[in-house]
Amino acid sequence: QALGNRGTVTEASGFNPEEDAQKIYNAMKGAGTNEATIIEILAHRTIAQRQKIKEAFKQSVGKELLDCLKSELTGNFEMIVVGLMMPAPVYDAYELKNAIKGAGTEEACLIDILASRSKAEIKEIIATYKKEHGKSLEDDVCGDTSGMFQRVLVSLLTAGRDESTKVDEAQAVQDAKDIYEAGEAHWGTDEVKFLTVLCVRNRNHLLRVFQEYQKISGRDIEDSIKREMSGCLEDAFLAIVKCMKNKPAFFAERLYKSMKGLGTTDSVLIRIMVARAEIDMLDIKAEFLKMYGKTLHSFIKGDTSGDYRKILLELCGGEK
């Protein structure tokens, strides 16, 4: 089964993992690789189906499919294929690990993942991270970040957000006042107030808080965050607000920014295309068109090349 019902990647009918494994094996054996076969199969199977192909491959070839793919492929194309072969929490944990290790931290990755995943997804990511990397995700995040930005990530990692749908009217008004008084109304910003409201309250409640905030301050909450904060902390709070308002639009904007202007931030493009392909890619495409007047398909086509472009366009699924 697919992870969601708004994806471009759906369950392949008449699925035969043994046959797929054999085709992939044939595509890699001997000199050179038949990338077209790999794209045709892997971009049109769900994550669950790809796991079955992995098992069938190991059984019939006696090797790990992932290792074979890594040794045959290179560059961005390899990064996408490797990502596609992983179950969702494994991929998220792998991306987080890569964002933290080495010199400098890719804060954008920490924000993209932790601000957009549900409570259940975050719990799974934490357990998977521990299992795959033998370390606590929270410890690794804390070792690599600092200040209020670190505190926001730690709060998101507790996966303690209320996920009910009820709105406490009086509390919503109070929350809006608290945030206003913590920011716009005073010199200096009390960021903890923002954290308490933005990282703990449920979505419906927050949408109500944002309306109230607009009434009290005459500004959109996003504008205030931009005025009051900077750097990673600003990015983290904005991501939380945007994901609450409209998650597909958040991802559409991230994709747009990864491709507009000179050069492409491939890490962002790959991460979103792989992670959202079977969840909400249809909605992301619709938002992209609405926001930018161009299709996601046309942007990817104009910004990438080769097999990397081909597999991205398959995951994007059609021009509309």
271 and 3 in contact (C-beta within 8 Å)?
A: no
Which pair of structure tokens corresponds to residue 84?
A: 């596609």
Q: pLDDT per residue over 144-190, tens digit each?
A: 999 999 999 999 999 999 999 999 999 999 999 999 999 877 766 78
Q: pLDDT per residue over 182-195, tens digit each?
A: 987 776 678 999 99
C-alpha distance from residue 260 to each of 92, 253, 257, 299 (Å): 25, 10, 5, 8
C-alpha distance from residue 91 to each of 32, 80, 94, 109, 261 (Å): 27, 11, 5, 12, 28
Say if residue 308's pLDDT is above 80: yes
Which domains does the chain possess?
17-73 (1.10.220.10), 90-158 (1.10.220.10), 169-245 (1.10.220.10), 247-316 (1.10.220.10)
pLDDT given for residue 103 in this prediction? 63
Say if residue 69's pLDDT is above 70: yes
C-alpha distance from residue 97 to each of 139, 143, 223, 292 (Å): 12, 12, 32, 32
Radius of gyration of the chain (CA): 21
Which pair of structure tokens corresponds to residue 197?
A: 């409201």
Rounded Cα gap, residues 213 and 211, in angstroms: 5
Which residue, 214, 199, 203, is CA-closest to 159? 199
* Percentage of residues in the chain having pLDDT higher than 90: 90
